[in-house]
Amino acid sequence: MIQIENLTHVYPASRKTPARTAINNLTLTVEEGQFCILSGPNGSGKSTLFRILCGMSLPSAGTIRIAGHDLFKEPGKARAELGVVFQSPAVDKHLTVGENLRLHADLYGLSSSLYAERLSEAMAWTDLKDRLNDKVDTLSGGLARQVELAKALLTRPRLLLLDEPTTGLDPASRRNFIEALHKIQRERRMTVLMTSHIFSEAEDADRVAIMKEGNLLAFDSPQTLRSRLGREMVVLQSRGAVVLEGRIRADLHLKTRRHGDEIRLEETDNGASLPILEKLLAAYRDDIDSIAIKQPALEDVFIHLTGPQKSDTSENGEIQ
Protein backbone atom coordinates (compact mmCIF):
# COMPACT_ATOMS: atom_id res chain seq x y z
CA MET A 1 0.00 0.00 0.00
CA ILE A 2 2.97 2.30 0.68
CA GLN A 3 6.26 1.78 -1.14
CA ILE A 4 8.95 4.22 -0.14
CA GLU A 5 12.23 3.89 -2.02
CA ASN A 6 15.50 5.67 -1.36
CA LEU A 7 13.75 8.65 0.13
CA THR A 8 15.99 11.48 1.24
CA HIS A 9 15.00 14.88 2.51
CA VAL A 10 17.48 17.66 3.21
CA TYR A 11 16.33 20.96 4.70
CA PRO A 12 18.53 23.59 3.07
CA ALA A 13 20.86 25.75 5.14
CA SER A 14 19.54 29.10 6.27
CA ARG A 15 21.43 32.03 7.74
CA LYS A 16 20.97 30.56 11.21
CA THR A 17 21.14 26.78 10.66
CA PRO A 18 23.27 24.44 8.55
CA ALA A 19 21.63 22.11 6.02
CA ARG A 20 20.02 19.17 7.79
CA THR A 21 19.28 15.67 6.50
CA ALA A 22 15.90 14.87 8.04
CA ILE A 23 15.45 11.59 6.12
CA ASN A 24 18.41 9.57 4.92
CA ASN A 25 17.86 7.11 2.07
CA LEU A 26 14.77 5.49 3.56
CA THR A 27 13.30 2.37 1.96
CA LEU A 28 10.18 0.87 3.50
CA THR A 29 7.12 -1.07 2.36
CA VAL A 30 3.81 -1.21 4.21
CA GLU A 31 1.56 -4.03 3.00
CA GLU A 32 -2.16 -3.53 2.49
CA GLY A 33 -4.15 -4.07 5.68
CA GLN A 34 -1.20 -3.58 8.05
CA PHE A 35 -1.24 -1.41 11.14
CA CYS A 36 2.15 0.24 11.19
CA ILE A 37 3.63 2.47 13.89
CA LEU A 38 6.44 4.89 13.15
CA SER A 39 8.42 5.83 16.24
CA GLY A 40 11.70 7.46 17.14
CA PRO A 41 13.08 10.21 19.37
CA ASN A 42 12.46 13.86 18.57
CA GLY A 43 14.21 14.93 15.40
CA SER A 44 14.07 11.45 13.82
CA GLY A 45 12.30 12.71 10.73
CA LYS A 46 8.83 11.31 11.50
CA SER A 47 6.91 14.53 10.87
CA THR A 48 8.96 15.26 7.76
CA LEU A 49 8.04 11.83 6.37
CA PHE A 50 4.42 12.37 7.37
CA ARG A 51 4.26 15.71 5.52
CA ILE A 52 5.79 14.13 2.42
CA LEU A 53 3.33 11.21 2.51
CA CYS A 54 0.39 13.61 2.78
CA GLY A 55 1.67 15.47 -0.27
CA MET A 56 2.36 18.61 1.74
CA SER A 57 6.04 18.74 0.84
CA LEU A 58 8.32 17.27 -1.80
CA PRO A 59 11.42 15.24 -0.85
CA SER A 60 14.92 15.97 -2.11
CA ALA A 61 15.14 12.50 -3.72
CA GLY A 62 13.38 9.16 -3.89
CA THR A 63 10.01 7.74 -4.84
CA ILE A 64 6.79 6.90 -3.04
CA ARG A 65 3.94 4.84 -4.40
CA ILE A 66 0.59 4.78 -2.67
CA ALA A 67 -1.74 1.99 -3.78
CA GLY A 68 0.44 1.73 -6.87
CA HIS A 69 0.23 5.43 -7.78
CA ASP A 70 3.38 7.53 -7.88
CA LEU A 71 2.77 10.19 -5.24
CA PHE A 72 4.79 12.81 -7.10
CA LYS A 73 3.69 12.01 -10.67
CA GLU A 74 0.03 11.22 -9.98
CA PRO A 75 -0.58 13.10 -6.73
CA GLY A 76 -4.35 13.31 -7.25
CA LYS A 77 -4.80 9.55 -7.63
CA ALA A 78 -2.47 8.76 -4.74
CA ARG A 79 -4.11 11.26 -2.41
CA ALA A 80 -7.61 10.01 -3.26
CA GLU A 81 -6.71 6.85 -1.29
CA LEU A 82 -5.67 8.81 1.80
CA GLY A 83 -7.30 9.91 5.02
CA VAL A 84 -5.23 12.06 7.35
CA VAL A 85 -5.40 12.89 11.06
CA PHE A 86 -2.97 15.64 12.01
CA GLN A 87 -1.50 16.16 15.44
CA SER A 88 -2.93 19.66 15.68
CA PRO A 89 -6.70 20.01 15.42
CA ALA A 90 -8.00 20.32 11.87
CA VAL A 91 -11.68 20.80 12.69
CA ASP A 92 -13.37 24.17 13.16
CA LYS A 93 -14.04 24.44 16.87
CA HIS A 94 -16.67 27.15 16.37
CA LEU A 95 -18.81 24.81 14.27
CA THR A 96 -20.81 21.90 15.64
CA VAL A 97 -19.68 18.30 15.29
CA GLY A 98 -22.31 17.71 12.60
CA GLU A 99 -21.36 20.86 10.68
CA ASN A 100 -17.70 19.85 10.63
CA LEU A 101 -18.50 16.39 9.31
CA ARG A 102 -20.96 17.70 6.72
CA LEU A 103 -18.42 20.28 5.53
CA HIS A 104 -15.81 17.59 5.02
CA ALA A 105 -18.30 15.38 3.16
CA ASP A 106 -19.20 18.31 0.90
CA LEU A 107 -15.54 19.04 0.18
CA TYR A 108 -15.18 15.47 -1.04
CA GLY A 109 -18.45 15.54 -2.97
CA LEU A 110 -20.22 12.83 -0.97
CA SER A 111 -23.91 12.54 -1.87
CA SER A 112 -26.47 13.14 0.88
CA SER A 113 -27.42 9.48 1.06
CA LEU A 114 -23.79 8.34 1.24
CA TYR A 115 -23.11 10.96 3.89
CA ALA A 116 -26.07 9.75 5.95
CA GLU A 117 -24.79 6.17 5.74
CA ARG A 118 -21.21 7.10 6.72
CA LEU A 119 -22.46 9.35 9.52
CA SER A 120 -24.47 6.54 11.06
CA GLU A 121 -21.40 4.29 10.79
CA ALA A 122 -19.39 6.90 12.64
CA MET A 123 -22.04 7.22 15.34
CA ALA A 124 -21.78 3.50 15.96
CA TRP A 125 -18.11 3.59 17.03
CA THR A 126 -17.81 7.13 18.46
CA ASP A 127 -19.38 8.58 21.60
CA LEU A 128 -20.66 11.53 19.56
CA LYS A 129 -24.27 10.50 19.03
CA ASP A 130 -25.68 13.01 21.51
CA ARG A 131 -23.15 15.68 20.66
CA LEU A 132 -23.78 16.27 16.94
CA ASN A 133 -25.31 19.69 17.59
CA ASP A 134 -22.63 20.78 20.08
CA LYS A 135 -19.79 23.05 19.09
CA VAL A 136 -16.44 21.24 18.96
CA ASP A 137 -14.91 23.63 21.51
CA THR A 138 -17.33 22.34 24.15
CA LEU A 139 -16.07 18.74 23.77
CA SER A 140 -13.44 16.98 25.88
CA GLY A 141 -10.05 16.33 24.26
CA GLY A 142 -10.95 12.68 23.70
CA LEU A 143 -14.25 13.47 21.95
CA ALA A 144 -12.62 16.18 19.83
CA ARG A 145 -10.11 13.58 18.61
CA GLN A 146 -13.00 11.26 17.75
CA VAL A 147 -14.38 14.02 15.52
CA GLU A 148 -11.02 14.20 13.72
CA LEU A 149 -10.99 10.46 13.17
CA ALA A 150 -14.64 10.31 12.12
CA LYS A 151 -13.94 13.08 9.62
CA ALA A 152 -10.93 11.31 8.12
CA LEU A 153 -12.95 8.08 7.81
CA LEU A 154 -16.00 9.64 6.07
CA THR A 155 -14.40 9.13 2.67
CA ARG A 156 -13.51 5.50 3.47
CA PRO A 157 -9.79 5.84 2.75
CA ARG A 158 -7.80 2.67 2.05
CA LEU A 159 -4.85 4.25 3.82
CA LEU A 160 -5.09 6.31 7.00
CA LEU A 161 -2.15 8.44 8.16
CA LEU A 162 -2.08 9.75 11.73
CA ASP A 163 0.59 11.97 13.32
CA GLU A 164 0.73 11.45 17.10
CA PRO A 165 -3.07 11.46 17.29
CA THR A 166 -3.30 10.76 21.03
CA THR A 167 -0.95 13.50 22.25
CA GLY A 168 -2.51 15.34 25.17
CA LEU A 169 -5.21 12.77 25.87
CA ASP A 170 -5.65 11.19 29.29
CA PRO A 171 -4.81 7.44 29.40
CA ALA A 172 -8.45 6.30 29.27
CA SER A 173 -9.31 8.45 26.23
CA ARG A 174 -6.09 7.37 24.57
CA ARG A 175 -6.98 3.71 25.04
CA ASN A 176 -10.50 4.31 23.69
CA PHE A 177 -9.15 6.05 20.64
CA ILE A 178 -6.57 3.35 19.84
CA GLU A 179 -9.06 0.53 20.44
CA ALA A 180 -11.62 2.12 18.11
CA LEU A 181 -8.92 2.65 15.51
CA HIS A 182 -7.77 -0.99 15.67
CA LYS A 183 -11.33 -2.24 15.42
CA ILE A 184 -12.13 -0.16 12.34
CA GLN A 185 -8.79 -1.02 10.79
CA ARG A 186 -9.49 -4.74 11.13
CA GLU A 187 -13.09 -4.52 9.94
CA ARG A 188 -12.22 -2.55 6.84
CA ARG A 189 -8.79 -4.07 6.23
CA MET A 190 -7.62 -0.50 6.11
CA THR A 191 -3.90 0.23 6.11
CA VAL A 192 -2.77 2.51 8.94
CA LEU A 193 0.48 4.38 9.38
CA MET A 194 0.66 6.24 12.64
CA THR A 195 3.50 8.08 14.36
CA SER A 196 3.65 7.63 18.12
CA HIS A 197 5.93 8.04 21.10
CA ILE A 198 3.84 5.79 23.26
CA PHE A 199 5.06 2.23 23.26
CA SER A 200 1.92 0.65 24.63
CA GLU A 201 0.27 1.89 21.42
CA ALA A 202 2.80 -0.01 19.35
CA GLU A 203 2.54 -3.38 21.11
CA ASP A 204 -0.54 -4.35 19.03
CA ALA A 205 0.78 -3.08 15.72
CA ASP A 206 1.64 -5.40 12.82
CA ARG A 207 4.86 -3.52 12.11
CA VAL A 208 6.92 -1.00 14.04
CA ALA A 209 9.46 1.25 12.35
CA ILE A 210 12.08 2.84 14.60
CA MET A 211 13.88 5.88 13.22
CA LYS A 212 16.69 7.99 14.58
CA GLU A 213 18.20 11.09 13.00
CA GLY A 214 16.72 10.27 9.62
CA ASN A 215 17.82 6.63 9.56
CA LEU A 216 15.60 3.58 9.78
CA LEU A 217 17.07 1.45 12.60
CA ALA A 218 14.48 -1.32 12.58
CA PHE A 219 11.25 -2.33 10.87
CA ASP A 220 9.60 -5.48 12.12
CA SER A 221 6.75 -6.99 14.11
CA PRO A 222 6.72 -6.10 17.85
CA GLN A 223 7.34 -9.77 18.65
CA THR A 224 10.43 -10.01 16.46
CA LEU A 225 11.75 -6.73 17.82
CA ARG A 226 11.30 -7.88 21.41
CA SER A 227 13.01 -11.18 20.70
CA ARG A 228 16.15 -9.25 19.74
CA LEU A 229 16.73 -8.58 23.41
CA GLY A 230 16.36 -12.18 24.50
CA ARG A 231 13.80 -13.48 26.95
CA GLU A 232 14.78 -11.53 30.06
CA MET A 233 16.89 -8.67 31.33
CA VAL A 234 18.00 -7.36 34.72
CA VAL A 235 17.19 -3.72 35.41
CA LEU A 236 18.31 -1.81 38.50
CA GLN A 237 17.91 1.72 39.76
CA SER A 238 20.59 3.54 41.71
CA ARG A 239 21.14 7.18 42.64
CA GLY A 240 24.84 6.52 42.14
CA ALA A 241 24.35 4.80 38.80
CA VAL A 242 27.40 6.30 37.07
CA VAL A 243 29.83 5.00 39.69
CA LEU A 244 27.98 1.74 40.17
CA GLU A 245 28.02 0.98 36.45
CA GLY A 246 31.81 1.33 36.46
CA ARG A 247 32.11 -1.01 39.42
CA ILE A 248 29.82 -3.66 37.91
CA ARG A 249 31.86 -3.69 34.76
CA ALA A 250 35.21 -3.77 36.51
CA ASP A 251 34.30 -6.27 39.22
CA LEU A 252 31.90 -8.61 37.45
CA HIS A 253 32.86 -8.09 33.78
CA LEU A 254 29.22 -7.73 32.79
CA LYS A 255 27.96 -5.71 29.83
CA THR A 256 25.78 -2.80 30.94
CA ARG A 257 23.81 0.10 29.58
CA ARG A 258 22.92 3.13 31.64
CA HIS A 259 20.05 5.56 31.16
CA GLY A 260 20.00 8.16 33.90
CA ASP A 261 19.59 6.34 37.22
CA GLU A 262 18.90 3.03 35.51
CA ILE A 263 21.43 0.31 34.71
CA ARG A 264 20.42 -2.52 32.38
CA LEU A 265 21.99 -5.88 31.81
CA GLU A 266 20.34 -6.94 28.59
CA GLU A 267 22.33 -9.87 27.42
CA THR A 268 21.66 -12.35 30.16
CA ASP A 269 21.52 -15.92 28.90
CA ASN A 270 18.36 -17.86 29.45
CA GLY A 271 18.19 -18.68 33.15
CA ALA A 272 21.20 -16.49 34.01
CA SER A 273 19.15 -13.51 35.18
CA LEU A 274 18.49 -14.75 38.70
CA PRO A 275 22.13 -15.58 39.56
CA ILE A 276 23.17 -12.19 38.14
CA LEU A 277 20.53 -10.43 40.23
CA GLU A 278 21.69 -12.29 43.34
CA LYS A 279 25.32 -11.48 42.62
CA LEU A 280 24.51 -7.78 42.19
CA LEU A 281 22.49 -7.69 45.39
CA ALA A 282 25.20 -9.46 47.35
CA ALA A 283 27.88 -7.06 46.13
CA TYR A 284 26.07 -3.70 45.99
CA ARG A 285 22.96 -3.95 48.13
CA ASP A 286 23.46 -0.52 49.73
CA ASP A 287 23.88 1.20 46.35
CA ILE A 288 20.81 -0.35 44.74
CA ASP A 289 17.43 1.37 45.14
CA SER A 290 15.50 -1.30 43.25
CA ILE A 291 16.27 -4.30 41.07
CA ALA A 292 14.13 -6.57 38.92
CA ILE A 293 14.14 -9.19 36.22
CA LYS A 294 11.85 -8.25 33.38
CA GLN A 295 10.77 -9.44 29.98
CA PRO A 296 11.68 -6.92 27.31
CA ALA A 297 8.86 -4.66 26.16
CA LEU A 298 8.91 -2.63 22.98
CA GLU A 299 10.12 0.36 24.97
CA ASP A 300 13.23 -1.60 25.94
CA VAL A 301 13.92 -2.37 22.29
CA PHE A 302 13.55 1.30 21.53
CA ILE A 303 16.01 2.27 24.28
CA HIS A 304 18.39 -0.44 23.11
CA LEU A 305 18.32 0.78 19.52
CA THR A 306 18.15 4.53 19.89
CA GLY A 307 20.46 4.81 22.89
CA PRO A 308 20.35 7.54 25.50
CA GLN A 309 19.10 10.98 24.62
CA LYS A 310 21.80 13.63 24.08
CA SER A 311 21.21 15.16 27.50
CA ASP A 312 21.88 11.85 29.21
CA THR A 313 24.83 10.19 27.61
CA SER A 314 26.29 7.05 29.05
CA GLU A 315 29.82 6.25 27.88
CA ASN A 316 28.32 2.93 26.90
CA GLY A 317 25.49 4.41 24.87
CA GLU A 318 26.67 3.58 21.38
CA ILE A 319 24.17 2.10 19.00
CA GLN A 320 24.95 -1.51 18.24
Amino acid at 290: S
Q: Hey, which residues between 45 and 104 contact ligand ADP (CB under 6 A)?
A: 45-48
Q: Is 63 in the site for Mg ion (CB under 5 A)?
A: no
Nearer to ligand ADP, 46 or 207 (CB): 46
Part in contact with ligand ADP (CB under 6 A); list of ranges 40-48, 90-98, 142-150, 184-192: 40-48
Spatial distance between the Cα atoms of 111 and 23, rounded to a whole number of angstroms: 40
CB 219 within 8 A of CB 28: yes
State whether residue 166 is helix, strand or coil.
coil
Phi and psi for 245 in degrees, rounded to 5?
-60, -45
Binding residue (CB under 6 A) for ligand ADP from 44, 100, 166, 306: 44
Taking the complex as a whole, the smallest distance from the CB of residue 52 to ligand ADP amounts, in Å, to 10
Helix, strand, or coil here: 303?
helix
Nearest 5 degrees, angle CA 179-CA 209-CA 61?
125
Q: Which of 25, 47, 167, 215: binder of Mg ion (CB under 5 A)?
A: 47
DSSP string across 171-225: HHHHHHHHHHHHHHHHHHT-EEEEE-S-HHHHTT-SEEEEEETTEEEEEE-HHHH
Binding mask 8-37 for ligand ADP (x = CB under 6 A): ---x--------x-x---------------
CB of 234 to ligand ADP, least distance (A): 31
What does 37 interact with, of ligand ADP, Mg ion, none (CB < 5 to 8 A by kind)? Answer: none
Q: Are 85 and 124 spatial neighbours (Cβ–Cβ below 8 Å)?
A: no
Q: Segment near ligand ADP (CB under 6 A), from 39-47, 67-75, 223-231, 248-256? A: 39-47
CB of 47 to Mg ion, least distance (A): 3
Per CB under 6 A, residues contacting ligand ADP are 11, 20, 22, 40, 42-48
